C-alpha cells in the first residue's frame, strides 16, 4: 500500500519535540496522564487493585500483539488478521481438553500451541510460496477459522478452565502479581533479547527493511516469514489459553475483540505498519495505554455511543503522534 510505503519521517511535532515524541516515552507519559485523569474522575481508579486488573487485561492484548508485532516487523505489508480467530479457537480447544481438571493443562497448552502454529504455518505458506498479500491471506483464514468455530461449537460444550489456570491468571503469584503478568514480562524480555541480540531478531529487521537486500545477504526470507506467522499463531493461542483462565469458560468469538486492537497496540508502540523498525517494549506500553483508555471510558458515566465517539476520536489524536507518512516532495 502506497500510504504505508511512505511511512518513516517524523511529523511536524517530531521536529519540535524530538525526544518527547519517542513512541515509548509518549505512551508512558500518556499512561501516567490517563491514570491521573482516571483517579480524578473516579477516586480509586488508580488503586493498586485496579491497576493490577488493568495489567491482566493488557497482558492478554499484549501477548496477541507480540505475534502481531513480529509479523508487522517482518515487513512486506505483513499483518495478521487471523489472530482473533486463533484466540477464540484455542480458548475452546483448551477449555475442552482441561475441562476443569488441572491434569489437562499440559496437553491443552501443547494442543493449543500446535493449533496456533498450524494456522500460522498455513498463513505463512500462502504469503511466501503462493505470494498472496498477508492482508488477503489472513482475512481469508479468519473466515475459515470463524466457520470452524461454528462447527466445533455444535459438537462440543464450551469447556471449563482448570482451577490452576484461573489462579495463574487472576490470583497473586509472586510479589503480589499474578502469573500472567510474570509471563508477559518474560515474553517481553525474551522478545527484547531476541530482537536485539540474536541472529533471528536481526534478520527480522533485515527482511522488514529491505527484503531484496536481506535475500542477497543470505537470509532465508521465506522460512523467516513462515516462522513469523507461526509465532503469531502461537502467541495468539497462548493468549487464548490465558483468556480462558480469565473468563472461566470460553464463549463465542471471544477473540474477535483482539484483531484490530492488537494492530493498534503495535502502532502505538512505535512500530510502523511498513515494518523494519520498532520493537516490542513500545508495544507493551501501547497495549497498556489502549486498555487504560478503554477502562477510563467505562468509568465515565456516559452511554455506549458517547464512549465509542470519544474512543474513536482519542485513537485518531493519539495516532497523530505515531508514524505519520512523509509529505510528498517533488
Partner 1 sequence: MKGAPTAAAAGPAGLRQFLVRFPFLPALCILIVLLALNGIFEPRSLSFRSLTGIVSTYLALMMLAVAQTYVVYAGDIDLSVGAIVSLVNVAIVALLQQMGGGGLTVLAVLGIGLAVGLACGIVNGLVVAWLRLQAIVATFATSILFTGLALWIMPVAGTPAPAAVWRTYGGRILEIPFVFWAVAALALVLAILARTRLTTQLLAVGDDAVRAYQSGLPVTRIRIRGYALCGVFAALAAFCVTGDTASGDPLVGAKMTLSSVAAVVLGGCALSGGVGTVTGSVLAAVIIGLINSLVYFVGTPSEWQNLVQGLAIIVALMAGVLVTRWARS
What residues line the site for partner 1 (CB under 8 A)? 1-7, 11, 77, 79, 81, 126, 130-133, 135-137, 139-148, 150-151, 153-155, 260, 263-264, 267, 272-273, 303-313, 315-316, 319-320, 323-328, 330
CB of 232 to partner 1, least distance (A): 16
- CB atoms under 10 Å from CB of 52, counted, come to 15
Check if the beta carbon of residue 326 is closer than 8 Å to that of residue 276: no
CB of 259 to partner 1, least distance (A): 10
Nearer to partner 1, 106 or 319 (CB): 319
Nearer to partner 1, 133 or 163 (CB): 133
Nearer to partner 1, 177 or 310 (CB): 310
Nearer to partner 1, 176 or 303 (CB): 303
CB of 154 to partner 1, least distance (A): 4
CB of 51 to partner 1, least distance (A): 25
**Pairing mode of beta strands 172-174, 177-178:** antiparallel
CB of 263 to partner 1, least distance (A): 6
Nearer to partner 1, 119 or 246 (CB): 119
Sequence-separated contacts (24+) of 227-230 with Cβ below 8 Å: 227/124, 227/200, 228/70, 228/71, 228/73, 228/74, 228/78, 228/124, 228/204, 229/71, 229/80, 229/120, 229/121, 229/123, 229/124, 229/127, 230/116, 230/117, 230/120, 230/121, 230/124
Amino acid at each position: 500500500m502506497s500510504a504505508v510505503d511512505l511511512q518513516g519521517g517524523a511529523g511536524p511535532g517530531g521536529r519540535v519535540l524530538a525526544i518527547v515524541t519517542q513512541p515509548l516515552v509518549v505512551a508512558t507519559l500518556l499512561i501516567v496522564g490517563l491514570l491521573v485523569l482516571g483517579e480524578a474522575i473516579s477516586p480509586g481508579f488508580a488503586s493498586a487493585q485496579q491497576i493490577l486488573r488493568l495489567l491482566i487485561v493488557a497482558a492478554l492484548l499484549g501477548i496477541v500483539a507480540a505475534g502481531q508485532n513480529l509479523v508487522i516487523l517482518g515487513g512486506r505489508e505483513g499483518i495478521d488478521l487471523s489472530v482473533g480467530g486463533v484466540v477464540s479457537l484455542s480458548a475452546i480447544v483448551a477449555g475442552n481438553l482441561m475441562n476443569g481438571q488441572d491434569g489437562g493443562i499440559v496437553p491443552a497448552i501443547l494442543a493449543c500451541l500446535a493449533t496456533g502454529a498450524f494456522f500460522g504455518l498455513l498463513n505463512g505458506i500462502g504469503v511466501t510460496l503462493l505470494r498472496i498479500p498477508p492482508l488477503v491471506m489472513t482475512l481469508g483464514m479468519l473466515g475459515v477459522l470463524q466457520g470452524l468455530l461454528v462447527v466445533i461449537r455444535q459438537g462440543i460444550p464450551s469447556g471449563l478452565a482448570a482451577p490452576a489456570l484461573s489462579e495463574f491468571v487472576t490470583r497473586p503469584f509472586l510479589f503480589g502479581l499474578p502469573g500472567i503478568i510474570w509471563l508477559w514480562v518474560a515474553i517481553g524480555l525474551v522478545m527484547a533479547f531476541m530482537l536485539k541480540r540474536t541472529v533471528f531478531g536481526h534478520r527480522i529487521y533485515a527482511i522488514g527493511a529491505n527484503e531484496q537486500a536481506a535475500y542477497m545477504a543470505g537470509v532465508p526470507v521465506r522460512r523467516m516469514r513462515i516462522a513469523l506467522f507461526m509465532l503469531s499463531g502461537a502467541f495468539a493461542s497462548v493468549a487464548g489459553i490465558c483468556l480462558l483462565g480469565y473468563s472461566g469458560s470460553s464463549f463465542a468469538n471471544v477473540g474477535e475483540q483482539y484483531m484490530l486492537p492488537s494492530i493498534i497496540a503495535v502502532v502505538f508502540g512505535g512500530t510502523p505498519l511498513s515494518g523494519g523498525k520498532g520493537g516490542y517494549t513500545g508495544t507493551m506500553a501501547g497495549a497498556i495505554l489502549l486498555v487504560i483508555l478503554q477502562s477510563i471510558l467505562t468509568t465515565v458515566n456516559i452511554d455506549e455511543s458517547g464512549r465509542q465517539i470519544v474512543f474513536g476520536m482519542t485513537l485518531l489524536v493519539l495516532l497523530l503522534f505515531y508514524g505519520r507518512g512523509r509529505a510528498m516532495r517533488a
